[in-house]
Amino acid sequence: MVAYIKKMAVDRHKWMDEATFKDGVVLCQSIPGSTAMQTAAYVGLRARKISGAFVSFLGFGLPAFILMLILSAFYASFHNMPKAVSLFNGLQVIVVAIVAQAAFSFGKSMLKSYQDIFIPIISAILLWIGISPFIVILGAAFVGIIFFKNSNAPKVFNQAQKDTGLFKKITLIALILSLALAGLYFFDRNLFKLAVLMFRIDIFAFGGGFAALPLMHHEIVGVRGWMTSKTFMDGIALGQITPGPITMSTTFVGYLLRGLPGAVVATLAIFTPSFLMVILITPFFDKLKGSAYFLGATRAIYASFVGLLCFITVKFAYAVPWNTTQVLLCLIALVALLKKVDILYVVLMGAIISIFIL
């Protein structure tokens, strides 16, 4: 999706040059949240300041939200029908393959030394014995600051052009957000709790949408018991059918918990913190990316997510009632993903096979 955004913003419309766009991608990969959604916001910010960031962010996510909402409504009504049961029994093993491939890809790109390999192993062990993933991530950041601090971090002197009205605009956004949360607190305490939870997950989801999955599973399935692992995996599978980030699965979670209001609140809450971070950090990112402490912390956090994804792969695998057909389907899907077959084709073919064979 980032490649498509580049083609539109740099090549077709000339909203920015390639160097500026690449800086934006580095920024969006360095802070928590969905990289594609943040990149869309960054393009809008550079082209039309905060108003541009807002409409770009909204325009990029709205189609996926609407489609996910429709799929969630169908799931709530028909998931117990025999054909639907077969469909989701197959899609669950596809989800195992998807997350396993994500863990492999994270590990291949992030693990550069024996210290890097040590962090995901410890992270997975801590999760297995019941330590909160939020604590694991904070611990990894602390380790990274101590052991991965890069004294040769690039010294960057060019500062991004500052918007003189930025402080006022950010203050207004913060006020609106505070009023919205206060309204939820008095109107529906459960919606308030859902919003706060999604805020927290997004703030810790370094490495893009897949990084949010272990956090969501821990909080929604493990801590609160709002749904089973199988149901959560069904939501991930539906999220892969939509043309948006995998974190759009929060629409599914919100809908099953609280209907349409829950879907809206969960979706807005999972994307709002990362949207605000793009706006706040962009003017100062040149200085931030030259910080040895920042580089060390993010390196260790990314390494920890390899362990988190390995752990969640095992948890998802435990939730599947395996048979020979499902094992073969999972292995075929995993090989296809490793061979760079488009994930949408893998999911759709898995769905067709599931309906007629499982």
Residue 1 has pLDDT above 60, yes or no: yes
Instruction: Look up the pTM and report it.
Output: 0.81
- The whole-number average pLDDT for the span 116-130 is 89
DSSP characters over 36-82: HHHHHHHHHHHHHHHHHHHHHHHHHHHHHHHHHHHHHHHHHHHTTSH
Please state whether 57 falls in left (phi above 0), alpha (psi between -120 and 50) or beta: alpha
Q: Which of 88, 80, 89 is nearest to 326 (CA)?
A: 89
How far apart (Å, rounded) are the C-alpha atoms in residues 211 and 230? 19
Asked whether 273 and 202 are in contact (CB, 8 A), the reply is yes
pLDDT score at 163: 52
- pLDDT, residue 157, reads 40
- Tokens 């969501």 correspond to 216
Helix (H, G, I), strand (E, B) or coil at 321: coil
Cβ distance 145 to 214 under 8 Å? no
Which residue ranges make up each domain of the chain? 67-160+192-357
Tokens of 43: 């393009």
Helices (H), 148-226: 166-187, 189-204, 212-216
Position 158 scores a pLDDT of 45
CA contacts within 13 A on the Cβ side of 219? 21
pLDDT band of residue 159 (cuts 50, 70, 90) is very low
The per-residue pLDDT for range 215-245, each reduced to its tens digit, is: 999 999 999 999 999 999 999 988 887 777 8
Distances from the Cα of 184 to the Cα of 58, 93, 193, 205, angstroms: 21, 37, 9, 24
Residue 219 is classified by DSSP as I
Residue 156 has pLDDT above 50, yes or no: no
The owner of tokens 């920015």 is 16
35's CB contacts (< 8 A; 6+ apart) are 2, 25, 28, 29, 208, 209
Dump pLDDT digits (tens) for 94-120. Answer: 999 988 998 888 888 778 777 778 899
CA–CA separation, 332 and 64 (whole Å): 27
The secondary structure of residue 289, as a DSSP letter, is T
CB 313 within 8 A of CB 107: no
